[in-house]
Amino acid sequence: MILSVFLLLFISCEKEEDPEDKEPEMVMIAKAITDENTFEVKIYARDTLFEGYNKLYVSVKNTISMEKVTDATIAFKPLMRDSLRVQWCLSCPVQI
């Protein structure tokens, strides 16, 4: 009797997953491979891009060893071209 109650209590209980433990879903914004076909770079965001501040996440993978690169140096140089005046290029702030 005691064994059946013990088994009922511990077998029927299911551990609930903590929503904080799950990584948020990411949307891939861009994917590129270097000219030498050595690295694959993917850019992600938590949601589709919108006008304003967009936090981006970058993943770099070595295409030969298929391992993620953890010591890469990445530089962003965002430019916005004015569609009415082709000679104008504006920059925007970058937070690292």
The parts of the chain modelled with pLDDT lower than 50 are 3, 5-9, 12, 19-21
- Report the predicted TM-score, pTM, of the whole model to 2 decimal places: 0.61
Residue 5 counted as domain residue: no
Residue 81 counted as domain residue: yes
**What is the Cα–Cα distance from 33 to 1, expressed in whole angstroms?**
64
62: which 2 tokens?
A: 């070595």
| pLDDT value at residue 85 | 63
| pLDDT value at residue 17 | 54
Residue 32 counted as domain residue: yes
Indicate the number of domains in the chain.
1
Residue range of the domain that includes 53 = 23-88
